[in-house]
Amino acid sequence: MFKIGEFSKISQVSIKTLRYYDHLGLLKPAHIDRFNGYRYYTLTQLPKLYRILALKDLDFSLDQIQSMLNQELGAEALVGMLEDKAAELRQRITSEHARLYRVESRLNQLARSSRDQSPPVVLKSAPDVLIASVRETLPSIQSLQDWQQAQLIRIYKGLDQQGLPHSGPDLLIYHQNEYRDMDLDVEVGRILHEVKEEIVEGLLGGLIQLRMLPGAPQLATTIHTGKPGSPSDAYASLAKWTQANGFRPVGPCRELTYQQDKPELIHIIEVQQPVMNAINFYPQLEAQKMEPKFFTKPNFTLMGLRYFGKNEKGEISELWEKFNQRIEQLGGLPYETGEAAIGLCSTLEDPHPEGAFEYVAGFPVSKVEQVPEGFVLRQIPEHTYAVFAHRGDLASLGKTYEYIYEVWLPQSGYNMASKIDFEYYDQDFKDFAPDSVFYIYVPIEKA
């Protein structure tokens, strides 16, 4: 799974837009972390997101798109709707011709039966290299390409004036962890491979800086052919490979552009993502102790107190305190099984405030005759669960969830079978003492 910032970078869709689509119910996160409100997405959601973006670009309203997605229209019905849209566009004024072209291009795309395969991803290392570069924050992504070319011309000229050889390639670095439409922190430069004498780092002239770009022991790399600036398919390939092979991104992405001798030839762009082995990325976790056990748990009924929100101020801990006080006042719950205390976390299907989720602190009950005031009931169907043990204090619990959803689940061959998970507090739980253990149940199904 990917945090919203990572998914934003892969899909080239801003975080603000992803949150808006979540609010409308168009594209909801696969999981929301109850501790920090982080949204998590999977690569399997990319096709749906791209359908939304394609239909939006073809002038369909978000309400229409939602209706179309809910109806799960086939290719033939979608072609029919696009042809109707093309007829409508032909009646508009001349300025709408560009939109008509995109509709017809989409129709051609649907007619094609196959797609070109993506280039392979290669893991390699890179040494420290000397670069001449300019780094600025740009107001919008629309200005990137013109700014990039203007800065490269300035850099070439500055290097020539200093007599420094610069055979390339050109370099573009995105110094942010998410895709942005505005306020892009980017660096453009030229790699100086042929410089043999020692060069003093510093300003070359104006905003141009000579500096050493640190190498990387591990880089996931792939090739994109075309114009610089938006090789989104390459980023998606890198992200998929990184997750599948047990790595995590650990630095800003780089694009190396190898220009051809002839202007009419397509440039070759190597997209590089510094990566680290996922287990090393979480050194505080003992991976051998994190491997889950698998259980099929029958359906059960949970009775308890409900919280709905983002747990921004530790409200879940307060909920358990309130629950324990109520249980003491009531003298226990009728028909309580005595099996364990359970904290059930649910991500609701309906639109809800940003990052909010439901958490129910309660006990399983074998029978329901009456529900105490303020209590709720939740029916949990039978599932097969991957069960993880969390050991130790409360402060490290967030890291355990990160391991489950960012390391184990993407590599496991399983998907979440339901938008729930729950914490299981039995006799092994000792109020987060060093030897305390409780269990996290994640419903799974084969991918």
Residue spans of beta strands (DSSP E) within 26-128: 31-32, 39-41, 122-126
Mean pLDDT of the chain: 81
Condensed to tens digits (0 to 9), the pLDDT of residues 46-77 reads 888 988 888 888 888 888 888 887 776 677 77
The C-alpha atoms of residue 248 and residue 275 are separated, in whole angstroms, by 5
Contact 378, 301 (CB under 8 A): yes
Provide the percentage of residues in the chain whose pLDDT is more than 90: 27
Condensed to tens digits (0 to 9), the pLDDT of residues 262-296 reads 665 567 888 999 888 765 555 544 444 578 999 99
Residue with tokens 């790699």: 191
Residue with tokens 């809800």: 352
Provide the percentage of residues in the chain whose pLDDT is more than 70: 81
What does the pLDDT average to over 345-372? 84
More confident residue, 55 or 444: 444
Task: Fill in the DSSP letter of residue 206.
Answer: T
Condensed to tens digits (0 to 9), the pLDDT of residues 399-425 reads 788 889 888 888 888 999 998 999 999
Task: Fill in the DSSP letter of residue 197.
Answer: S
Task: Fill in the DSSP letter of residue 336.
Answer: B
Give phi and psi for 226, each to the nearest 5: 140, -155
More confident residue, 202 or 150: 150
**b or e along 73-102 (b: 16 or more beta carbons within 10 Å of the residue's beta carbon)?**
eeeeebeeebeebbeebeeeeeeeeeebee
Domains of the chain, CATH where assigned: 2-111 (1.10.1660.10), 122-277 (3.20.80.10), 288-446 (3.20.80.10)
The C-alpha atoms of residue 436 and residue 431 are separated, in whole angstroms, by 7
H-type helices in 61-201, by residue range? 62-71, 75-90, 97-111, 144-161
What does the pLDDT average to over 231-248? 77
Residue type, 51: R
The C-alpha atoms of residue 314 and residue 320 are separated, in whole angstroms, by 11
Q: What is the pLDDT of residue 362?
A: 97
Task: Dump the DSSP string for 352-415.
Answer: -STT-EEEEEEEEES--S---TTEEEEEE--EEEEEEEEES-STTHHHHHHIIIIIIHHHHTEE
DSSP SS3 for 196:
coil
14-18, 88-92, 196-200: range with lowest mean pLDDT: 196-200
For the chain, the distance separating the N- and C-terminal CA atoms, rounded to the nearest angstrom, is: 13
DSSP SS3 for 351:
coil
